[in-house]
Amino acid sequence: RYRAKPLCYHCVESKFRVRLCVKCYFLILYNMGNKSSVMLDEQDIKALQADTGFSGSQIERLYSRFTSLDKGGSGSLSREDFLRIPELAINPLGDRIVHAFFKEGTDDRVNFKDFVTVLAHFRPIKRSQENKLNGRDEKLRFAFKMYDLDDDDAISRDELLAVLHMMVGENISEDQLNSIAERTILEADKDNDQMISFREFCTALDRTDVEQKMSIKFLK
């Protein structure tokens, strides 16, 4: 039976097949002429692993998801492409999460590196693991940005109310939503400026298991 040979010493050879290392995996896709391929060198891959906490095999799987979403084969994703991700499409804050993928001042396209970097904020983690993109502080900052609709580093009552509408729709009356927003501001606003700062936001969620609640199992 035919068995491919490893491309480099990082690849793992088994009885009937070769498990390609991440570098060779991307190299093959690139050489196949796939327009949506992203040429990552070994340093890029190691940097992605260090920054995001994803393993090499997880990065491969994310790349497969990336290319399956990239219907136009452009090597980047639009906002519409992101909404093809079932986990985001059913999330009431899906639009806000998608918005987070797009850096301020850039065009409405996201490359593979940015795609992996943002998804790292939602990677399920163990408490013993430390990662600069996926720790408690970074998850809190990401969550804070979901509510900070105008990006002024503060959450107003109107912003809080708007996000509550996104989350519950018409399941709760307007009076109840207003009551929740006002009570939240009252309890979290320690300096009485009618806004919630990031520090106040963190204090309000001090006892919340943000590490697990802000996780999406998009790798199966």
pLDDT at 131: 60
Most confident of 63-77, 113-127, 158-172, 188-202: 188-202
- Cα dihedral across residues 193, 199, 205, 206: positive or negative: negative
Predicted pLDDT of residue 94: 83
- Specify the pLDDT at position 148: 93
Of the candidates 85, 115, 79, 83, the one whose C-alpha atom is nearest the C-alpha of residue 99 is 79
Token pair for 77: 């994703």
Q: How far apart are CA 110 and CA 66, in angstroms?
A: 10
pLDDT for 156: 96
Residue 130: half-sphere exposure toward Cβ, Cα within 13 Å:
0
Between 110 and 200, the more confident residue is 200
- Reported pTM: 0.67
Cα 110 to Cα 88: distance, rounded to the nearest angstrom: 16
How many Cβ atoms from other residues are within 10 Å of residue 82's Cβ? Answer: 21
pLDDT band for position 36 (cuts 50, 70, 90): very low
HEC profile of 151-168: CCCCEEHHHHHHHHHHHH
Token pair belonging to 106: 């850039």
Those residues whose C-beta lies under 8 Å from the C-beta of residue 191, and which sit 6 or more positions away, are: 197, 200
Domains of the chain (ranges; CATH) run 7-30+37-214 (1.10.238.10)
> What's residue 39's pLDDT?
55
Is residue 24 helix, strand or coil? helix
Given this model, what pLDDT does residue 124 score?
67
Write down the pLDDT at residue 100.
79
Task: Say if residue 220's pLDDT is above 90.
Answer: no
Contact 53, 129 (CB under 8 A): yes
Report the Cα 209 to chain-centroid distance in Å.
18
Higher-confidence position of 193 and 208: 193
Token couple for 190: 């320690």
Mean pLDDT of the 148-162 span: 93
pLDDT of residue 59: 87
